[in-house]
Amino acid sequence: MKKLFYYAMMAMIMFGSAVVLSSCEKSSDDETDSGEVDTRLDNVVPKDIRDKMGRYITFYNGVNPPNVEGVYLMSPDILVYSSDNTFSIGDVFSDLYFRLSNQNSKNNTIDYQENQGQQTQVGSGAFISGEGNNFTIFFNNTGKIYDIKVKTAMVISGTKTSSGIANLRYALALIDKDPDPDNIAMEIGEFRIFEDKDGLTEFSEWPTGTRAGGFSIELPSFVSGSNLEY
């Protein structure tokens, strides 16, 4: 049976033919100028998983992130790495719009909304860390694949520029799940990394005619909404 993965924000829908690329490894944790480190990431992505993910995405863990409020378009949205090999490196997914708002520089939290494939998810109070123009947004959320409850982690990292976000990478990992005797969900600790192929996730306008949805988030809590089910 082909394994399915509950995407933390939406079901990513592959389209068109895959473009084969080689995966690019990145450093794990970024050094901060001030020496201060945001330790909340330890509660969202366990260290053993983060160490593996860190080969493909940089975690900017400083406590002085840039202001990243705005609407962005990730296109073309391609797969950089899949730890369970369900998809191939370079596979192309639907364009991803996301909005960042209400950034709180005191608590280093931010509201997140995304749209992909006519499905919109809305939440508030995700964590943000970073230093200078570099930042990382991260949170846990819960949902269901059929009747199997799963807990995932979502991470977005990049560099704020005058045109948008450079070198953005977007990670989804399965942190925990209920008993899954038929192996419908992918295994705990597996993850996928995506990026904007052209290296720049540009400012954009929010798409119209989208369908509302919801999901639950942990550390911190998302605005109430029904869990997505597949």
Kindly tell me if the per-residue pLDDT of 17 is higher than 70.
Answer: no
Please give the Cα distance from 152 to 191 (Å, whole number): 9
Kindly tell me if the per-residue pLDDT of 138 is higher than 80.
Answer: yes
Query: Chain-wide mean pLDDT for the chain?
Result: 79
Locate 158 and state its tokens. Answer: 């990049």
- Ranges assigned E (strand) in the chain: 63-64, 70-74, 77-82, 92-93, 96-104, 109-116, 119-131, 134-145, 148-161, 164-177, 191-196, 200-203, 211-212, 216-218
pLDDT value for 30: 57
**Cα-Cα-Cα-Cα dihedral sign, residues 80, 81, 85, 87:** negative
Three-state DSSP state, 42: helix
The beta-carbon contacts of 207-211 under 8 Å, at least 24 apart in sequence, are 207/97, 207/115, 209/118, 210/115, 210/118, 210/119, 210/120, 211/118, 211/119, 211/120
Q: Which amino acid is at 102?
A: N
pLDDT digits (tens, 9 = 90+) for 35-94: 789 999 999 999 999 999 999 999 999 999 999 999 999 999 999 999 988 889 999 988
Q: Which of 208, 209, 212, 214 is nearest to 227 (CA)?
A: 214
Q: Cα 118 to the chain's mean position, in Å? A: 18
Eight-state DSSP code of residue 4: B
- Are 45 and 136 within 8 A, CB to CB? no
